[in-house]
Amino acid sequence: MAKGAVGYALSSLNKLASLEVLDKMGLRRFIERMAYALTKTGFRVITTTARTFKASNKLDKPERLTAPGHTTDLFDLNITEEQHMIRASVQAFARDMLRPAGEQADRARQTSDATLAAALELGLNFFAVPEALGGAAGERSTVTGMLVAEDLAHGDMGQAVAILAPTGVANAITAWGTADQQARYLPAFTADKPPKAAIAIAEPSLLFDPMQLATSARRDGDQWLLNGTKSLVPLAAEAELFLVAAQTDDGPAVFIVEGGSPGLSCSDDPSMGIRAAACRPLILDHVRVPAANKLGNGDFDYRAFVDLGTLAWCALAIGTCQAVMDYVIPYCNERKAFGEPISYRQAVAFIIADMAIEIDAMRMLTYRAVCRAEQGKSFQRETCLARTLVKDKAMKIGTDGVQLLGGHGFTHEYPVERWYRDLRVVGVAFGGLHL
């Protein structure tokens, strides 16, 4: 993103602050206060990038993906040959690209352009867009999305969120968008440079309930007027498209908000984990969107919209937990204390065994919920069960991973401390993603 006036001003102040003459003149504290004030206010006025979205082809009706042709209503854990191939590619990418770049992305608080460009080569964005609109999706692929999220998070959870956030927006518009909304926005996701996009649901309030939103949407003629603040929005400072959840007189709804809209800005609030996703609060100050940008046309299911995002977070947590276990097993087998590997100690072995049990339990509950969603069945109960288990056990696995490494687990030299921080988000995250 090009450097704006705030960026140039900060660069100049930083160069000025490095001069030793400031100490002699007694001006250092003054310059430092100016830099701090400019940083604090400057982030508040950062607006997202604007892109012109135009409908390439007019649709007579929305393109909806059908459920896969399951031959049984039973819970089926088998995955197709195509899914095996997709997983092999994603796992190689996570291993070779995301894992080595994890620490640097965490420090930089963003996923590098090189990583995002490499992720596009996987073609994940095409699986979110129907074939009629230039994509490759012929049926609902909720299970595939879950497998991809799990495998990406095995490499690095923060970068996985940055990669999957735009795909989540495309999935939601495919699932519920009107014909005009699909024709206007979906073709862009299959372009050479698809838009960065994110879903904004969570809000900075205690005991946040996604069914009771503080962000409001008021009808004003042929427009909606949006006011409120969203938190933990991936790619907030650079996204070109948002799906924003807001409270209307008829209950929660979701609105398509284009980047660069007047009144749309983001502030800076560094998160504890998933820092590579560049999460920031998104501020809506009398943001006007056309009435036609309310997602769906009477068939929108807000509860399912939230639950699919919840399952995406569950899949990410499972992948990260698997990474923790895969890392601590060889470490405990090689680390010696009192003349033998610490894995010989019963307490250590039991902790690792519990990790394996809980990961399988989390995976089974999440798989069941996602499988029901793909088949078009009710999955709210299953999602609640999955999230309840994952937000408890995932954080425990992160804690145990740090504990097993002892003092090493508390340093940046080993990735477990970062995974611990990333896993803490599962208990508070809503939105940002969508299977």
Q: What is the mean pLDDT of residues 46-54?
A: 66
CA 103 – CA 419 distance, rounded (Å): 10
Helix (H, G, I), strand (E, B) or coil at 292: helix
Q: Report the pLDDT value the prediction gives residue 65, as an integer from 0 to 100.
A: 79
Contact of 226 with 244, CB cutoff 8 Å:
yes
pLDDT at 70 over 70: no
User: How confident is residue 98, by pLDDT bands cut at 50, 70 and 90?
Assistant: very high
User: How confident is residue 67, by pLDDT bands cut at 50, 70 and 90?
Assistant: confident
**Between the CA of residue 131 and those of 134, 164, 176, what are the distances in Å?**
5, 20, 16
The tens digit of pLDDT for each residue in 214-266 reads: 999 999 999 999 999 999 999 999 999 999 999 999 999 999 999 999 999 99
Q: How far is CA 89 from the centre of its chain?
A: 20
Q: What is the mean pLDDT of residues 115-137?
A: 89
Contact of 362 with 321, CB cutoff 8 Å:
yes
Q: Report the pLDDT value the prediction gives residue 310, as an integer from 0 to 100.
A: 96
Q: Report the pLDDT value the prediction gives residue 28, as an integer from 0 to 100.
A: 57
Superfamily of domain 302-427: Butyryl-CoA Dehydrogenase, subunit A, domain 3 (1.20.140.10)
User: How confident is residue 2, by pLDDT bands cut at 50, 70 and 90?
Assistant: very low
**Between residues 34 and 408, which one has the greater pLDDT?**
408
Q: Report the pLDDT value the prediction gives residue 45, as an integer from 0 to 100.
A: 46
In one-letter notation, the amino acid at residue 428 is: V
The tens digit of pLDDT for each residue in 159-179 reads: 999 999 999 999 999 999 999
Q: Report the pLDDT value the prediction gives residue 384, as an integer from 0 to 100.
A: 95
Backbone angles phi, psi at 33, to 5 degrees: -65, -40
Alpha-carbon Rg for the chain, nearest whole angstrom, is 23
Q: Report the pLDDT value the prediction gives residue 197, as an integer from 0 to 100.
A: 96
Tokens 């996570």 -> residue: 94
Write the DSSP symbol of residue 133. G
Q: What is the mean pLDDT of residues 111-122?
A: 93
Q: What is the mean pLDDT of residues 42-56?
A: 62
pLDDT at 424 over 80: yes
Say how many C-beta atoms besides its own lie within 10 A of residue 353's C-beta: 10
Q: Report the pLDDT value the prediction gives residue 49, as an integer from 0 to 100.
A: 61
Residue 430, token pair as written in the block? 């809503």
The tens digit of pLDDT for each residue in 323-369 reads: 999 999 999 999 988 889 999 899 999 999 999 999 999 999 999 99
Domain coordinates of the chain in residue numbers?
5-44, 302-427
Residue of 408, 242, 374, 401 whose CA lies nearest to 317 = 401
Q: What is the pTM of this model?
A: 0.86
Q: What is the mean pLDDT of residues 293-317?
A: 94
CA 365 – CA 13 distance, rounded (Å): 53
Q: What is the mean pLDDT of residues 23-34?
A: 57
User: In a 10 Å sphere around its CB, with 0-12 CB exposed, 13-18 middle and 19+ buried, how is residue 223 labelled?
Assistant: middle
Tokens 């095995």 -> residue: 154
Tokens 């699909």 -> residue: 182
Q: Report the pLDDT value the prediction gives residue 39, as an integer from 0 to 100.
A: 44
Quote the mean pLDDT of the chain.
Answer: 87
pLDDT at 51 over 50: yes
Q: Report the pLDDT value the prediction gives residue 4, as an integer from 0 to 100.
A: 44
User: In a 10 Å sphere around its CB, with 0-12 CB exposed, 13-18 middle and 19+ buried, how is residue 1 labelled?
Assistant: exposed
pLDDT at 10 over 90: no
Q: What is the mean pLDDT of residues 105-122?
A: 94
CA 431 – CA 161 distance, rounded (Å): 11
The tens digit of pLDDT for each residue in 134-164 reads: 888 778 889 999 999 999 999 999 999 999 9
